[in-house]
Amino acid sequence: MLRFSATRLFLDKVQRHTRLTEEEITGFLSLAGQSHSVPADTDMVRRGDPVSSTCLVVEGLLARTVDTSSGHRQIAAFYVPGDMPDVHAAMMTSATTTLHAVSPTRVARMQRSDVDAVLRKFPVLAEALWRETIIDSIIAMEWTANIGQRQAKARLAHLFAEMAVRLGAVTSNSFEYRFPATQENLAEATGMTPVHVNRTLQALRAEGVLDLNSGMAHIRDWRRLVEVAGFDDGYLRYEDPQRLLG
């Protein structure tokens, strides 16, 4: 049933940008197969690997990583329950980037052959997944801006703000959400040093903005967080369900 609720999360998100019929929803629900667990700190797929399935995150935290020839690693995206981390796989035969399990993670696999069949039958589902990749890419560009233009404190703050919104955790000015990333992971995601992440996090905690502890992000003052981050959630909001193909 956890697998089911993750699928529901995904469909709710999708329906913010794409209008679906009951039939299409049922078609999509038929795809999510057995849920499968991936140990922490392992690559689920590596760039270049042939892929014959895609998946949906049920629990845990995945990261899309890009390795640099000098041995450094950049996290280019995080994926949380209800995300399809690898919609690319629906259209590409080999993995475009590496997917890494940051914490113990459960994913529901979807066979590409099944996906193809459903997309052929319901072209609007293809349209929906296409929009998901577009949104994923907009988020990636926002990350580029975050890393390129903001300095340490704002950069970290922005990441926490984005995750809060994507998880639908923003309920009041003070709240918390599960975010099982280590400070080293945050460093890889923000292009900072673990040491500097540590110090910056301490500053944010001292200022009563936020706090990260044993996998839990505690947002102590959302308004201040938004301000420190220079955060504008516009790039995450889609409230106009379309239907162009099919």
Partner DNA sequence: CGCATATTTGATAGATTTCAATTTATGTGG
Partner DNA sequence: CCACATAAATTGAAATCTATCAAATATGCG
Positions touching a copy of itself (CB under 8 A) are 17, 47-48, 64, 66-70, 72-74, 76-77, 88, 91-94, 96-97, 116, 119-120, 123, 126-127, 130-131, 133-134, 136-138, 140-145, 147-150, 190-191, 230-232, 234-235, 240, 242, 244-246
| Footprint of DNA (CB under 7 A) | 41, 151-153, 182-184, 191-196, 198-199, 201-202, 212-214
Q: What are phi and psi of 77, to 5 degrees?
A: -165, 150
What residues form DSSP beta bridges with 218?
Answer: 176, 211
CA distance 147 to 103: 23
DSSP sequence for 57-126 = EEES-EEEEEE-TTS-EEEEEEE-TT--TTGGGGT-SB-SSEEEESSSEEEEEEEHHHHHHHHHH-HHHH
Which pair of tokens denotes residue 33? 């197969």
How large is the angle between the packed helices 112-121 and 123-149, nearest 10 degrees?
A: 110
Among DNA, a copy of itself, none, partner that 73 touches (CB below 5 to 8 angstroms by kind): a copy of itself
- The smaller minimum CB distance to a copy of itself, of residues 106 and 131, is found at 131
Compute CA distances 188 → 17, 118, 166, 181, whole Å.
31, 37, 20, 10
- The smaller minimum CB distance to a copy of itself, of residues 33 and 191, is found at 191
Among a copy of itself, DNA, none, partner that 202 touches (CB below 5 to 8 angstroms by kind): DNA
Min dist. Cβ of residue 210 to a copy of itself (A):
18
Min dist. Cβ of residue 69 to a copy of itself (A):
4
Min dist. Cβ of residue 161 to a copy of itself (A):
12
